[in-house]
Chain A
């Protein structure tokens, strides 16, 4: 069900704030991945604020929902969202990637409360999410497992091994969301490794497919709700149409901002743009 207008406004404003805070952290350490972090902002926000059952007071609750950020380099946005959920203070964002931090360069279960799986090497996340889903089912829990794929991630063959396995084992408590911005480190995905018909590929592997605008919280919530409601023993992938670097004009769609630190002028311009954004107003 779509969000109430006030709720939508609140979450859009939060997303804007998350973007500013993430860029501030990346600028501060002069390292990290802005493009993919901005791309996945609404997906994470929809999941953690509207869809997932998690409790910062009991971060290891056995029957909680799980999230696997297969594209682990977007960790800064995940950290910012987890901080907002109360897993740790938002002020810790300034320790990102620094010595002795709990906020490692890529998600780490042993460092950070709220992280369900360590990721970073691409291609391993969906398989692990599947194992989680099957394990939770064996335990009799109704929990869902969400796996967020990226365009570089799906270059890896293991993603498609996981797709075959999820169908074989009827993992209908597994929901993959493809943060589909069609850009990766070295360039446009269709230049680096042509993606072909992504929807047809997932269908061919036996998955249900849904699609939505990956920056529209209403669309995301509606689509995730639909994915959760499917009862028929098939895994679901949501192809979420996104823009790499979303919200910062000079980053949007640019592979050069995959993993580049912001200079002072870039940082100021980005923050000015986001601050004048109408999001949430």
Chain B
């Protein structure tokens, strides 16, 4: 059984933390949830639990970054992108400090806690910040690359993680590149551009659609910013239709980013959005929640059928 994204994250942070002494980790009293506790266990001197004080945590991280440390800032994605936003803007975005915002429990993955703890606007918020880079973990291997990239590459970043286990997309040792999406499956009729858990669901949908004679290309757009505009435009040209799929509001997230790229590239193809339809969800078991709010493989397949008809 694959490990939960949060578990992988904690393990990777602990692994690199032991060799890179510049790494400091901050958490706001959710370290056993975010799994930053795994770093604390091996590097207690560089772990700072600030209590439930997210704005203070982010600003403290700015201080660490300004004296050469690499702060990893941990709390639930929704609190990080709201309470933490002021510090993200003035210190990360404006001052370009080397701060790593690690959004635990992205999307609806904190399912039972309900909409107060779901994070469905974080991508829209964080990608609007100049100088920020934004990534969405899509499986264990991409999570490791994202964390390694955050350590090696200077500048402010927001990373959306998850509480849950995601379908495995990559084999160990897979190479990733900043700003380059991954084509998971080739197809000529439509391109599904997905992020996070939806990338795995998109592959599942593509299998169903293949049985109906629709060949879908599937892209894992784990790098939301910088966005792989070249791949998006080439996909529009080659397949003639685009469907985006994300565990996020349909407003301002991956769908918005892809649409901006298409319009600016004058690639006027039919586009469909799979995402939360400008609404909050509710509490419940994760998979049932995803199904009810049309954030699963059948929902992606349905959106593809609807979109290719407009070609």
| Residues of A participating in the B interface, judged by any CB pair closer than 8 Å | 62, 66, 108-110, 116-121, 123-125, 127-136, 138-139, 145, 157-158, 161-162, 164-165, 169
Contact of A135 with B63 in the complex, beta carbons under 8 Å: yes
Residues of B within 8 A of A117 (CB): 62-63, 66, 91, 95
Judging by beta carbons under 8 Å apart, are B59 and A118 in contact? no
10 nearest CB pairs, A to B: A131-B63, A127-B59, A161-B56, A131-B60, A132-B63, A135-B67, A161-B53, A128-B63, A135-B64, A124-B59
- CB of A129, distance to nearest CB on chain B (Å): 6
Q: Which residues of A contact B58 (CB under 8 A)?
A: 127
Q: Chain A residue with minimal CB distance to B131?
A: A110
Binding site for A on B (CB under 8 A): 24, 45-46, 48, 50-51, 53, 55-69, 71, 86-87, 90-91, 94-96
Q: Find A128's partner among B24, B46, B59, B96 (CB 8 Å cutoff).
A: B59
Query: In the complex the two chains form, what is the Cα distance from A138 to B55 in whole Å?
Result: 22
CA distance A116 to B91 in the complex (A): 11
- Give me 16 other A-B pairs in contact (C-beta within 8 A), A138-B24, A165-B56 excluded: A110-B94, A110-B95, A110-B96, A117-B95, A118-B91, A120-B90, A124-B87, A127-B60, A128-B91, A129-B63, A130-B60, A130-B63, A131-B62, A132-B66, A134-B60, A161-B56
Q: Is the CB of B66 within 8 A of A116?
A: yes
Residues of B within 8 A of A139 (CB): 67-68
Residues of A within 8 A of B66 (CB): 66, 109, 116-117, 128, 131-132, 135
- Report yes or no: A124 in contact with B86, Cβ–Cβ below 8 A: yes
In contact, A128 and B62 (Cβ under 8 angstroms): yes
B66 to chain A, nearest CB (A): 6
Question: Contacts of A161 on B, CB cut-off 8 Å?
Answer: 50-51, 53, 55-56
B59 touches A165 (CB 8 A): no
Nearest-neighbor residue (CB-CB) of A169 within chain B: B48
25 pairs of residues in contact across A and B, judged by CB atoms under 8 Å: A108-B94, A117-B95, A118-B90, A118-B94, A120-B90, A121-B86, A124-B55, A124-B86, A124-B90, A125-B59, A127-B58, A128-B59, A128-B63, A128-B87, A131-B59, A131-B62, A131-B64, A131-B65, A131-B66, A134-B64, A138-B46, A158-B56, A161-B53, A162-B60, A165-B51
Contact A124 B91 (CB under 8 A): yes
Could you tell me if A158 and B95 are in contact, using CB atoms closer than 8 angstroms?
no
**Contact, CB under 8 Å: A121 / B90:** yes
Return chain B residues, CB-CB under 8 Å to A119: 90
